[in-house]
Structure 1
Amino acid sequence: MPVAQHVMRHAAERPSRLAVCGPAGELTYARLAERIHGAARHLIGLGIGPGRLVAIGLTDPVEVLVAALAADLAGATPLVGDPAWDRERWSRVTPAGPGVHVDAPLPYVAGPAVRHEPRPGDRAWAGFTSGSTGRPRAVVRSRASWTASFPHLSDLAGIRPDDVVLIPGPLVSSLYAFAAVHTLATGATALLPGRWPARTPGDLPARATVVHLVPHRLPDVLAHPGTLRTAVVGGAALDPDTRAAAARAGVRVVSYYGASELSFVAVDADGGGLRPFPGVEIEVRPAPAGSPGTEVRPARAGSLGEVWVRSPWLADGYLGDAAGPLRRDGDGWVSVGDVAEPYRAGEVLRVRGRGDGAIQTGGATVVPEDVEEVLRKVPGVGDIVVIGSPHPALGSVVTAVIEAERATPPPPRALLEAMARGGLDAAQRPRRWYAVPSLPRTQAGKPARALVAARLADGDPDIRRLT
């Protein structure tokens, strides 16, 4: 996925064009190319090359890109992680040990230009599917699985070399990492504040013509649109009212559905609904008859099924022996367990739930399994599913659904909250609590998280709120 060769080409053709603007300063394409070469020579001096892993834990997003692109130029695989992680946490995702761990900006080493011939099948990127809470899990990608999709996104969103693209989030997120390298591949300018501003959205640079972000941040940007022309929105469903507000502000919205393991799956470029991204085939497969957890009330939601995808944009898998939701069949189709309404080619895809379950709440990423592990210890909890419920300001709030038999009342909410306070960080604690007689389950017998979320959204009367 990294685009070192693209940067070198732009540096030769438009050396004075501004490439990146970060918290600590700016770099032209010529200067960025020089920094990448110098850092790549440093890595090569350490014995880093093809087949090696470069673990990157840096705060400054410009330094992250320099390190990632230097690793790319050296032929290695960059892995961008959270700078707050210690070596023990890194060891959990790189059991064989990375080739090198970068926790300070790479030094510049003088010398001749680095020559490496990139290949489409190179393992050119590894990125995490969740934030700094929970069990780290890294997805590994070939170069072509993302770079070959760049022209399609540019065409859909109308992104050009003269654009200035605002990317207001940490590059440990695959969404923001993709946005950054796509911008550099295009020859545009990437504005990289590193994270959402601490004060007001008006602090964001007003010169941006394009922004790439998650849905719950878009209303804040629309309050100060400046020169903004296009918003590329991913990571969750976009509220129709927000799209309408963007239209009133003169901002075109291109929203998409995908996953770290799948990359782009479907895109809505005009407000008419999600259609397959170029090169993507989609199936929504009904679960086998009689499978537990597949019964959704027909009068409310119809029969939901799993989203399966076949495309050139799929990831290779997970780093090391990490477990994850990615599954494959024998014909090249993959799924991460997301659910959708029945779908036929040519129709709009209506996704109803995310398979990985990671919850984005107020800028934090919460892994549901971590919350469930703590709350299962409460006496009277048979089982539990933790999901994210939509929230207008926070994006989502953590929501717990407790399994309790009808004849046995669920544990008091006060007891549940006391356990949450004692064992969870503030961002991880559920804000909404529900009880259900029986949780829907997958064929493997595990609670079907996405189906629980769909039932709750549909107002299933069997799910009652705890007060």
Structure 2
Amino acid sequence: MPFIDKLQHWAKTTGSRPAVIVGAQHFDYASLLAAAETAATLSGSGCESGTGAIAVIDEPAGVNLAVQFCAAIRQHKTAMVVDASWPQELRKQLTATAQKWARTHDQIIPPFLLGLSSGTSGLPKAFTRSAESWHESFIRSTEHFGLTPATVTLAPGPMAASMNLYALGETIFAGGTFIALPDFGPDTALAAVSAHHVNRLVLVPTVLELLARRGVATGQLARASPVLFAPAPR
């Protein structure tokens, strides 16, 4: 489990600190752990479908996506998070393919993540990540970027994107606060920077340029707190 032990640690030691905020929804560390453990005991919920060792999470951007992701990892399942904005037929196809993959691939140590590409060039492509690879990356990236419980990270892109799932896990590992948006918009993102005192952004260069241009044009950058622009390691 690449970061669940840290979630348990922070829930026990500083449980009231904000863990995940998405729009008006929020969970502190104690509540996030409690919700994840409750979800992990349920089977066949409306937000997660699974066959054997795989959990397919088809959930709009929100704190419940984070709960289901943590719950899948807590159960030692392979998690696949699909983008809820994709067409329903595509999501059904990906779910069926993932469940078939889980039935036909007998692995001693299954991957904890079955990630998906953005699908901008066609059918999304799948890749796997091991718990060990992310855990080792968290150790190094938190040190490299100087992440602490005081770090407030905004990832304005889709929560289902692997980069943002990594940023979520990395933030929990460091004990900081992870911010996402229910729907992307440059003004919404800039408002979140000011409202939550964001001091780190995780995004792609095109989005950084968009936010910078909009911030300069509207004067919002002058009101925003200093931000470390840092793309998450993959």
Q: TM-score, normalised by structure 1?
A: 0.42
Rounded to whole Å, the distance in 1 between the matches of 2:97 and 2:89 is 13
Q: Alpha carbons of 1:2 and 1:87: their partners in 2 closer, same or farther (altered >3 Å)?
A: farther
Correspondence for 1:168 among 147, 156, 160: 156
Match of 2:128 in 1: 140
Q: Alpha carbons of 1:30 and 1:50: their partners in 2 closer, same or farther (altered >3 Å)?
A: farther
Higher helix share: 2
Match of 1:61 in 2: 62
Match of 1:5 in 2: 5
Flag structure 2 segments of 5+ consecutive residues without an equivalent: 101-108
Q: CA deviation at 1:64?
A: 1.0
Rounded to whole Å, the distance in 2 between the matches of 1:232 and 1:133 is 26
Correspondence for 2:146 among 141, 145, 158: 158
SS in 2 for 1:204: helix
Amino acid in structure 1 at the alignment position of 2:225: T
Q: CA deviation at 1:89?
A: 1.9
Deviation string 1:112-142 (CA, Å, 9 cap, x unpaired) is xxxxxxxxx5411111112466212221111
Amino acid in structure 1 at the alignment position of 2:67: V
Q: Alpha carbons of 1:122 and 1:50: their partners in 2 closer, same or farther (altered >3 Å)?
A: farther
Deviation string 1:185-205 (CA, Å, 9 cap, x unpaired) is 111001111443264653233
User: Do the aligned residues in 1 keep the contact of 2:22 with 2:179 (CA within 8 Å)?
Assistant: yes
Match of 1:316 in 2: none
User: Do the aligned residues in 2 keep the contact of 1:163 with 1:209 (CA within 8 Å)?
Assistant: yes
User: Do the aligned residues in 2 keep the contact of 1:197 with 1:204 (CA within 8 Å)?
Assistant: no
Deviation string 1:54-98 (CA, Å, 9 cap, x unpaired) is 111211232111111111111211111111345542343344563
Q: Alpha carbons of 1:126 and 1:61: their partners in 2 closer, same or farther (altered >3 Å)?
A: farther
SS in 2 for 1:15: coil
Deviation string 1:347-404 (CA, Å, 9 cap, x unpaired) is xxxxxxxxxxxxxxxxxxxxxxxxxxxxxxxxxxxxxxxxxxxxxxxxxxxxxxxxxx
Match of 2:226 in 1: 228
Q: CA deviation at 1:229?
A: 3.8
Q: CA deviation at 1:6?
A: 1.9
Rounded to whole Å, the distance in 2 between the matches of 1:96 and 1:130 is 17
Q: CA deviation at 1:209?
A: 1.1
Rounded to whole Å, the distance in 2 between the matches of 1:50 and 1:6 is 27
> Between Structure 1 and Structure 2, whose CA radius of gyration is higher?
1
User: Do the aligned residues in 2 keep the contact of 1:183 with 1:190 (CA within 8 Å)?
Assistant: yes
Amino acid in structure 2 at the alignment position of 1:90: R
Amino acid in structure 2 at the alignment position of 1:212: V
Rounded to whole Å, the distance in 1 between the matches of 2:57 and 2:63 is 12
Q: Alpha carbons of 1:233 and 1:199: their partners in 2 closer, same or farther (altered >3 Å)?
A: same
Rounded to whole Å, the distance in 1 between the matches of 2:161 and 2:28 is 24
Amino acid in structure 1 at the alignment position of 2:76: G
Higher relative contact order (CA 8 A, sep 6+): 2
User: Do the aligned residues in 1 keep the contact of 2:80 with 2:114 (CA within 8 Å)?
Assistant: yes
Match of 2:206 in 1: 216
Match of 1:80 in 2: 81
User: Do the aligned residues in 1 keep the contact of 2:15 with 2:29 (CA within 8 Å)?
Assistant: yes
Q: Alpha carbons of 1:44 and 1:91: their partners in 2 closer, same or farther (altered >3 Å)?
A: closer
Match of 2:17 in 1: 17
Rounded to whole Å, the distance in 2 between the matches of 1:141 and 1:78 is 10
Flag structure 1 segments of 5+ consecutive residues without an equivalent: 100-120, 235-255, 257-262, 264-467
Amino acid in structure 1 at the alignment position of 2:13: E
Rounded to whole Å, the distance in 2 between the matches of 1:21 and 1:132 is 27
SS in 2 for 1:156: helix
SS in 2 for 1:205: helix
Deviation string 1:152-205 (CA, Å, 9 cap, x unpaired) is 111221111111111111122111111111111111001111443264653233
SS in 1 for 2:201: strand
Amino acid in structure 1 at the alignment position of 2:37: H
SS in 1 for 2:37: helix
User: Do the aligned residues in 1 keep the contact of 2:61 with 2:158 (CA within 8 Å)?
Assistant: no
Rounded to whole Å, the distance in 1 between the matches of 2:164 and 2:152 is 15
SS in 1 for 2:7: helix
Identical amino acids, percent of aligned pairs: 26
SS in 2 for 1:6: helix
Rounded to whole Å, the distance in 2 between the matches of 1:201 and 1:45 is 31
Q: Alpha carbons of 1:131 and 1:228: their partners in 2 closer, same or farther (altered >3 Å)?
A: farther
Rounded to whole Å, the distance in 2 between the matches of 1:218 and 1:85 is 24
Match of 2:53 in 1: 52
Match of 1:185 in 2: 173
Q: Alpha carbons of 1:122 and 1:134: their partners in 2 closer, same or farther (altered >3 Å)?
A: same
Correspondence for 2:193 among 194, 201, 205: 205
User: Do the aligned residues in 1 keep the contact of 2:15 with 2:28 (CA within 8 Å)?
Assistant: yes
Aligned residue pairs total 214
